[in-house]
Amino acid sequence: MPNVTELASLIDGERTPGAAPIELTSPSDRSDVVSRVSLGDADVFVTAAERASIAQQQWARVPAPIRGVAVGDLGRILKDNKEALSRIITREVGKPYRESLGEVQEAIDTCIFFASEGRRMYGMTVPSEMPDKQLFTFRNPVGTMAIITAGNFPMAVPSWYLVPALMAGNAVVWKPAEYAPAVADAFVRCILAAGIPAGVIQLVLADGPATGDGVERALAAGHLQKVGFTGSSDVGRSIAATCGHHLVAPTLELGGKNPLVVMPDAQLDLAVEGALFSAFGTAGQRCTSLGVAIVHESIHTEFLERFTAATEAAIVGDPMQDVLYGPMISDRFDANFQSWVDDIQPHHRVMGSSATGRIGSSSPREGFVGDPDIGIYQHPVIVDGVTADDAMYRQETFGPIAPVATFNSFEEALHLANDHGYGLSAAIYTTDPRNAFRFREGVSAGMLSINNSTSGAEAHLPFGGNGRSGNGARQSGVWVLDQVTRWQSMNWDFSGKLQKAQMDVAEIEADFDFRI
């Protein structure tokens, strides 16, 4: 049996116990105690923010290329420990081991990218309309950032925040999901091993209410200049309101209801493969998971038959084996998802096996690997006949369920792709470039795939959504620099006299009589 990790917040690199420890068990084996965690309160969060704001001032003075070297060292440390970190992720949140390896690789790729960006923190020289005057722009660090992340991607998504923030000269107070503290602790220890000062990365293990109170107080005290949040749309609204009160612009990456449109000219086997991964990868517990498959009426029956067959043939179970998906991340997510299964309406049609709900000895699944009774496993569900009036169409379900709707015209498909108000990711399967470009022009999603799944990201491509999916902020690539830096402009007048820009333009034009 693996060892149990004793965890608490890391303030200036030192364990800072809070409340009496609670035991967290693996969702794939509830008898496996992964960690005992002492959660901090709002005071711990405020202390972390205060300490970080002090450390940030010295860190910002380190030249950006040198900070980039530290980020590069972090990438090498992560690579050296890739398998060990992946096993922690799989054990702690139940993600299939192959996916966990990919998640750690995403963090490594992010480090590789931003190690070089330390040498490309470019500003601009800008021509002035006045003589003997030069204009410049500079990127400065924001300051101290609070980063609050979810646990379905407990390492990849945090790396999108932490790595560029640290490279740009910021300090970070990171509050990971309270159900995924072990991988967060391991990640921070890797950051410290890369030579990044302990005060610059503060790890606060706390629940939601303590975090909310701590953020409010740290903002009021002036210890925070930025808040980044990945999670639900409802919590995102609350954080946005708190930040707005203190005139701080948050970075919000929220939920999704991601459409996958299947046109009549689509390659059906490819569309089915994409829908299978989009709907059931990570047991549907991704912000980019399939929200609704929108299938043209002429191929609707054939698509459903193939999709149902592929789903029934998929291997589910023990995440250390080669499975499509493993357990639900936690009992809370399991209960929330079960409410969606219970909400299947009379006008819906459940495809394939009639088994829904928890997988267990009393409700077995053919092809399951492992022991379903020791973990939190849900049957995959395909629900046909979903309409725009259904809650299942309008709300994020966050679990292994695939709602399917039908459309007749391209305009109807586009309406169904947008009408729920989310705007994170979308996909269309088509062999006609006109459909692809028309969909790109009309869909509200911030990320679009053509003949690929709704899920997937690369470290150098912007990630983020609009509407109920976020406030337009983007992670990854050079675009995230606008979240972790602030522009500063400077004018340098070496004329020896006061020049008043627009007020003096007429005189300057007269001095340089260029008009014919």
pLDDT at residue 348 greater than cutoff 70: yes
Give the pLDDT score at 103: 96
| Residue 324 CB contacts under 8 Å (≥ 6 apart), including other chains | 96, 276, 277, 280, 281, 314, 315, 316
- Matching residue, tokens 């001032």: 57
* 48: phi then psi, degrees, rounded to nearest 5: -60, -45
- Matching residue, tokens 């923190």: 121
User: How far is the C-alpha of 405 from the C-alpha of 416, rounded, in Å?
Assistant: 9
Give the pLDDT score at 116: 94
Paired tokens of 486: 């602030």
Known active-site residue 253: yes
Residue 515 to residues 72, 408, 512, Cα–Cα distance (Å): 55, 61, 9
Helix (H) or strand (E) holding 37: strand 29-38
- Tell how far CA 275 is from the center of its chain: 20
Residue 331 to residues 149, 337, 381, 508, Cα–Cα distance (Å): 19, 10, 19, 72
Known active-site residue 458: no
- Matching residue, tokens 């704001």: 53
| Residue 114 CB contacts under 8 Å (≥ 6 apart), including other chains | 68, 71, 163, 164, 167
The pLDDT-based confidence of 2 (bands split at 50, 70, 90) is low
Q: Where do runs of H (alpha helix) occur along 383-462?
A: 391-394, 410-418, 433-442
Paired tokens of 27: 């969702």
516 strand-pairing partners: none
Report the half-sphere exposure of 483 (CA within 13 A, side-chain side).
30
Closest CA to 72 of 30, 119, 39, 33: 119
User: How far is the C-alpha of 465 from the C-alpha of 252, rounded, in Å?
Assistant: 9
Calculate ∠ Cα 429-424-173, nearest 5°.
Answer: 145
- Which of 54-58, 160-164, 455-459 has the weakest average pLDDT? 455-459
| Average pLDDT for 426-452 | 97
Task: Give the other-Cβ count within 10 Å of 120's Cβ.
Answer: 12
Give the pLDDT score at 306: 98
Question: With contact defined as beta carbons under 8 Å apart, do 371 and 326 qualify?
Answer: no
Q: Where are the beta strands (DSSP E) in 45-164?
A: 125-127, 133-141, 144-148
* pTM for this model (two decimals): 0.95
Closest CA to 384 of 270, 283, 304, 313: 304
Paired tokens of 404: 């399917």
User: How far is the C-alpha of 170 from the C-alpha of 121, rounded, in Å?
Assistant: 14
User: How far is the C-alpha of 280 from the C-alpha of 328, rounded, in Å?
Assistant: 11
Task: List, for residues 318-329, the tens digit of each pLDDT value.
Answer: 999 999 999 999
| Average pLDDT for 474-502 | 93
Q: Which domains does the chain have, with CATH numbers?
A: 5-254+470-488 (3.40.605.10), 258-458 (3.40.309.10)
- Matching residue, tokens 């305009």: 411
The residue from 23, 253, 273, 297 that is catalytic is: 253
User: How far is the C-alpha of 187 from the C-alpha of 146, rounded, in Å?
Assistant: 16
The pLDDT-based confidence of 514 (bands split at 50, 70, 90) is low
* pLDDT above 70 as % of the chain: 99
User: How far is the C-alpha of 457 from the C-alpha of 472, rounded, in Å?
Assistant: 17
259 strand-pairing partners: 292
**Helix, strand and coil percent figures for the chain, each rounded to 5:** 40, 25, 35
Question: With contact defined as beta carbons under 8 Å apart, do 483 and 251 qualify?
Answer: yes
* pLDDT above 90 as % of the chain: 93
Average pLDDT value for the chain: 95
Task: List, for residues 361-388, the tens digit of each pLDDT value.
Answer: 999 999 999 999 999 999 999 999 999 9
Question: With contact defined as beta carbons under 8 Å apart, do 422 and 469 qualify?
Answer: yes
Helix (H) or strand (E) holding 210: helix 208-220
| Average pLDDT for 11-24 | 94
Give the pLDDT score at 24: 97
Give the pLDDT score at 500: 85
The residue from 103, 287, 441, 509 that is catalytic is: 287
